[in-house]
Structure 1
Amino acid sequence: MGTKLTEFENLWVPKINQVLENEIAPDTDQKTLTNAMSYSVNAGGKRLRPLLTLAVLTSLGDNIDHTILKTSCALELMHSYSLIHDDLPAMDNDNLRRGKPTNHVKFGAGMATLAGDGLQPLSFQWLVDNDLDSETQAELVLALAKAAGPHGMVSGQADDIEFEGTRLPLEGLQKLDQNKTGALIRYAVEASLIMGRVIPEKRQAMLTFAEKFGEAYQIYDDILDIVGTEAQIGKPVHQDAGKNTYPNLLGLDKSYEMLHKTVKAAQDALSQAGRDLSIDTSLLNDFTSYFKNKDEK
């Protein structure tokens, strides 16, 4: 991991965690629901998505005040909602997440469902319950709604359920993962471009970086299910038999090859973004080290 990213994480992860630990309860009025929502949000995690937002804003030279920080953290609420629902008995029926019992194991399926139901609208509330201008607020809400909704993450989840046990072609798998995993990662970068007031004509290369980063993230996650350990990734491994994953479709060697090509494409897009926006992208390039030195066969 690059020095810049390590320093950036050391600076911002505690601040992200502080927002997530302190600012959910004031917006709720049912104790068990509050506990269930906070349980999953604060169970750990890399905070990758808000870090990406903050890293792009930093690279653009923007100041990050509390409003920008909390607005960036809204995505972590949406991400946590998706994990709670994904783990439910009616979905993947997982019992472990981030090394801890999943929400429905801790609170029951009904309360876990409601915890997700609470986190999803709260993420939108955090995008508008602030002093950002109304145009920025509206653009953020529209972008997150598209990323998380039936043309984004929920569509990917639906494909995941519908086609389990059916071997998708590569194009179908890529569409599934682009929606299920990639859409929120793309939004993390898009949110920073919106808050940073980057004109639409200058956004595309940075968004391509986000899309390729999200694709690499899912390929790597699929690989870890085979080569990783439960302690390493915080959830049971070898759970993807019968599912549409890159190793199941291509084999492990070809999956590594696709990972390397996808990371290279992300780096190339980032270089173009640096030229388009006249910014230093070395901090963002460090994010691609997430996939390095961990993929030895």
Structure 2
Amino acid sequence: MNSSTLNFSSWLSETVSSVEQHLQHYMPAVDVLPEVLHEAMRYAVLGPGKRIRAALVYASGLACMNSAMLEEQQKQNLSFAAAAVELIHAYSLVHDDLPCMDDDDMRRGRPTTHIQYGEAMALLAADALQPLAFDQLAQMHIDPLSIVQAIRVLSEAAGSRGMVGGQVIDVANVGNLLELSQLQKMHQMKTGAMIEASVRLGAIAAGANNDLTAQLNRYAVAIGLAFQVVDDILDATADTQSLGKTAGKDAQNNKPTYVSLMGLEASKAFAHQLYNEALVAIDSLGYQAQRLRELADFIIRRNY
């Protein structure tokens, strides 16, 4: 994977293809008992998706290396880390879509997992994706202490102090008017934590030093929040076909969002402010951070 010769679109396509091939290989096959569970797991994970979190893992890893060309072992380590993030993300989407949560029947442009396989099987498939994610991290060919660090990073980001905790705050505040600081805290946990983890896992897999890790963390905090602000904007402005999921769901469910709290134009301005903060954080990294800059641009300008 040569980071310097491919344009961003080609690099992103190659990165997405790489992690999807990895997931295809390491996920249980549909003919392995219990077949329907493994079929549902693969359905939840291998459907069309942006794979932004996986791309952030690879881009972060590249930012930690002196060469634009990944060695095969380095690429495999980043693939394990990227797959782990995608597995956790996929499980969270399956749970989010359940009737007891957001009650949605479309995800990534096709029926949600519980519509396709029933609620019980969707729940169990999502449950099974979580340990599989940590199994991926355990297979990285790096020193044991770094593997432990990676496992802790992902477990904290996905747990009660991260994604799940943010989701709890979200569920508890349907119909409530949050202050901006409360909304920001919720989204830093619900969405930002896993995006931050993606960047941190790429750095761990690549063996980054503490100074470089601190720069990448500042980038990740800013771009993670920007991602959610753009999500809120798109939910209010894009159509269902473009999003691949039901548009206007936040307003329909009376959920607090940046758009409902700040207004559309102020939300757009805030997203660009966060985008600029992300770029400043990695400014000194030069060409090594090329893909992180391009991903920030992709996140801020995306329409789905």
Q: TM-score by structure 2 length?
A: 0.90
Confirm or deny: 8 A CA contact 1:82 1:116 kept in the other structure: yes
Structure 2: gaps (5+ residues):
none
Task: Please name the residue that 1:251 is paired with.
Answer: 263
Task: Please name the residue that 1:281 is paired with.
Answer: 289
- Distance (whole Å) between structure 2 residues aligned to residue 211 and residue 83 of structure 1: 21
**Equivalent of residue 163 in structure 1, options 173, 176, 186:** 173
For the residue of structure 1 that corresponds to 2:250, the secondary structure is: coil
- Distance (whole Å) between structure 2 residues aligned to residue 4 and residue 211 of structure 1: 26
- Distance (whole Å) between structure 2 residues aligned to residue 243 and residue 20 of structure 1: 33
- Distance (whole Å) between structure 2 residues aligned to residue 39 and residue 221 of structure 1: 23
Task: Please identify runs of 4+ aligned residues in structure 1 that moved more than 4 A.
Answer: 291-295
Letter in 1 for 2:19: I
Confirm or deny: 8 A CA contact 1:77 1:122 kept in the other structure: yes
Confirm or deny: 8 A CA contact 2:45 2:90 kept in the other structure: yes
Letter in 1 for 2:170: D
Confirm or deny: 8 A CA contact 1:54 1:192 kept in the other structure: yes
- Post-superposition offset of 1:292: 4.9
Task: Please name the residue that 1:54 is paired with.
Answer: 58
- Distance (whole Å) between structure 1 residues aligned to residue 298 and residue 238 of structure 2: 14
The 5 Å alignment of 1:130-141 reads: 130-141=140-151
The verdict on how the C-alpha distance between 1:294 and 1:44 changes in structure 2, with shifts beyond 3 A counting, is closer
For the residue of structure 2 that corresponds to 1:25, the secondary structure is: coil
Task: Please name the residue that 1:20 is paired with.
Answer: 23
The 5 Å alignment of 1:231-246 reads: 231-241=241-251, 242-246=254-258
What is the Cα-based RMSD across aligned positions, in Å?
A: 1.9
- Post-superposition offset of 1:294: 5.4
> More deviation in 190-199 or 179-188?
190-199
- 2:52 is the alignment partner of 1:40: no
Confirm or deny: 8 A CA contact 1:4 1:283 kept in the other structure: no
- Distance (whole Å) between structure 2 residues aligned to residue 209 and residue 59 of structure 1: 12
Confirm or deny: 8 A CA contact 1:74 1:124 kept in the other structure: yes
- Distance (whole Å) between structure 2 residues aligned to residue 38 and residue 29 of structure 1: 14
Confirm or deny: 8 A CA contact 1:209 1:267 kept in the other structure: yes
> More deviation in 192-201 or 178-187?
192-201
Task: Please name the residue that 1:188 is paired with.
Answer: 198
**Equivalent of residue 90 in structure 1, options 91, 97, 100:** 100
The verdict on how the C-alpha distance between 1:292 and 1:171 changes in structure 2, with shifts beyond 3 A counting, is closer
- Post-superposition offset of 1:194: 1.2
- Post-superposition offset of 1:150: 0.5
For the residue of structure 1 that corresponds to 2:145, the secondary structure is: helix
Task: Please name the residue that 1:77 is paired with.
Answer: 87
- Post-superposition offset of 1:158: 0.2
> More deviation in 88-97 or 194-203?
194-203
- 2:181 is the alignment partner of 1:178: no
Percent pairwise identity: 33
- Post-superposition offset of 1:212: 0.7
Confirm or deny: 8 A CA contact 2:24 2:46 kept in the other structure: yes
For the residue of structure 2 that corresponds to 1:86, the secondary structure is: helix
For the residue of structure 1 that corresponds to 2:14, the secondary structure is: helix
Q: TM-score by structure 1 length?
A: 0.92
Letter in 2 for 1:11: E
Confirm or deny: 8 A CA contact 2:15 2:55 kept in the other structure: yes
The 5 Å alignment of 1:196-215 reads: 196-215=206-225
